[in-house]
Amino acid sequence: MASIPSTMKGVIIEKTGGTEVLQYKTDLPVPQPKEGEVLVKNEFLGINYIDTYFRSGLYPAPGFPYTLGREASGTIASLGSGSNFHGLKEGDHVVWMAEGGYAEYTVAPAEKTYKIPSGLSGKIAVAAFLQGLTALTLIRESHHVQKGDWVLVHAAAGGTGLWLVQLLKAVGAKAIGTASTEEKVEAAQKAGAEYVINYSREDVKSKVTELTGGKGCIAVFDGVGKTTFDLSLDCLARKGSLVSFGNASGAVPPVTIARLSPKNARLLRPTLFGYIATREEFEKYTGELFDYILKDGLDVKIHEVYPLSQVAKAHDDLEGRKTSGKLLLDPSR
C-alpha cells in the first residue's frame, strides 16, 4: 500500500446555498480513522440527491465546514483501533456508506463497509450501491411487492428509478413509470417497465386508470415529493401503499391523515438507513444487490463520471433533470 499523504483533494461547504457554495480544495487534511473505522482511498464517488439537500439546507448539516457525499468505492488504506472490522483488512477493495465522500480519502465505519465481490468493478459497485439498496429495501420492506402487482414509479429513468423498474420486473411485478422526456421514457422502457408515461404530454392519472382496469396501483414509489404527492394518492388502489421517499421537487407539505381513509391507504416516509441499520441487514441486502448484477445480469446505467473539481456541474445537471442513471465523481481530477 502506498504511503498515506497528509493532505488531499476534496470539496467542502462552509454555508448552504446553490452550487456556488461547493468549494474545491487541494489541501484538506487526510482524516484519521478511530475505533472501528477504516480509512479508504476513494476510487469513484457516488452522487445522490441527498447531497443536494445538505448543500441547499433542506436537510441541516451537522456543522461547517461540511463534506458532502455518502458513498464511494476504493481501497482500505489503514484501520483504526479496535478489533471488530468484520473481516476487512488493509488493501481490500470496498464500497462504503457514510459521510464525507467528496474527497480522495474518507473515514468510514467498518460496520458500513463491504468488500466488493470478484467480478464486480469498483465503478459498477458504487454506481449500484446506495440507489440500488434503496430500491431493493423499498420493494421488500416499505411495500412487499408481489408477482403481478401494478406499481407506479415516478422519475423512472433516474438513478433510483431505473433500479426500481428493474427489480420490479425481476420479481414479476408490472411497473408503470413516469418521465419527462422521450429519451428518459426509452431508458425506463429498456429497464423493463410495462409502460412509461411521458408526463409532459400524457395524463398520468388517466393512463394509470386505463392500464390497471380502473383499480389503480397497489404501491406508488414517489421520490419526487411536493409536485407529485396528490397525484400519487390519486393513482393508488384500495389498500395500497404510498411510499414517499424523497423530495426532488421539494418537501411534501404536512398531510391530513383523514386523506388516507377513502382508500384505506398506507402512507410511509422511509429512509434506506433505517432498513440497513444492523450489520446483518446491511450485509444481506448488499450481497443480494450485487447478486442481481453478477448472477441476474441487471444493468447499472452510469450517466457520467465528472471530475471532482466539476462537482457543481454535476449538481446542476442532477437538479436540472438532465440526467438518467448514476452520476459519479472521479476524486483524482
Residue 223 engages ligand NDP in binding (rule: CB under 6 A): yes
Q: Which of 246, 292, 315, 331 binds ligand NDP (CB under 6 A)?
A: 246
Q: Which of 10, 122, 132, 161 binds ligand NDP (CB under 6 A)?
A: 161
Q: How far is the CB of 239 from ligand NDP (least distance, A)?
A: 23
Q: Which residues ranging from 265 to 284 are in contact with ligand NDP (CB under 6 A)?
A: 270-272
CB neighbour list of residue 175: distance below 8 Å, 6 or more residues apart: 151, 152, 153, 156, 164, 165, 168, 169, 192, 193, 194
Q: Which range binds ligand NDP by CB under 6 A, 81-89, 205-213, 232-240, 319-327?
A: 319-327
How far apart, in whole angstroms, are the C-alpha atoms of residue 180 and residue 16? 28
How far apart, in whole angstroms, are the C-alpha atoms of residue 276 and residue 316? 30
Nearer to ligand NDP, 67 or 247 (CB): 247
Q: How far is the CB of 322 from ligand NDP (least distance, A)?
A: 8
How far apart, in whole angstroms, are the C-alpha atoms of residue 282 and residue 218? 27
Task: Mark residues 92-131: x for contact with ligand NDP by CB under 6 A, - for none.
Answer: ---------------------------------------x
Nearest to 196 by CA among 206, 185, 205: 185
Q: How far is the CB of 299 from ligand NDP (least distance, A)?
A: 15
Q: Which range binds ligand NDP by CB under 6 A, 11-19, 25-33, 209-217, 244-252?
A: 244-252
Residue 132 engages ligand NDP in binding (rule: CB under 6 A): no
Nearest to 105 by CA among 4, 215, 24: 4
Q: Which range binds ligand NDP by CB under 6 A, 20-28, 82-90, 164-172, 221-229?
A: 221-229
- For 50, 70, 139, 230, 323, the CA distances from 112, given in Å and listed in that order, are 18, 11, 21, 36, 28
Nearest to 180 by CA among 160, 200, 196, 195: 200
Q: Which of 42, 73, 106, 134 binds ligand NDP (CB under 6 A)?
A: 134
Residue 48 engages ligand NDP in binding (rule: CB under 6 A): yes
Residue 152 engages ligand NDP in binding (rule: CB under 6 A): no
Q: Which of 19, 23, 180, 209 binds ligand NDP (CB under 6 A)?
A: 180
Nearer to ligand NDP, 67 or 134 (CB): 134
Q: Which of 179, 204, 217, 252 binds ligand NDP (CB under 6 A)?
A: 179
Q: Which range binds ligand NDP by CB under 6 A, 9-17, 29-37, 76-84, 150-158?
A: 150-158
Residue 245 engages ligand NDP in binding (rule: CB under 6 A): yes
Q: Which residues bind ligand NDP (CB under 6 A)?
A: 48-50, 131, 134, 155, 157-161, 179-180, 184, 223-224, 227, 245-249, 270-272, 318-319, 321, 323
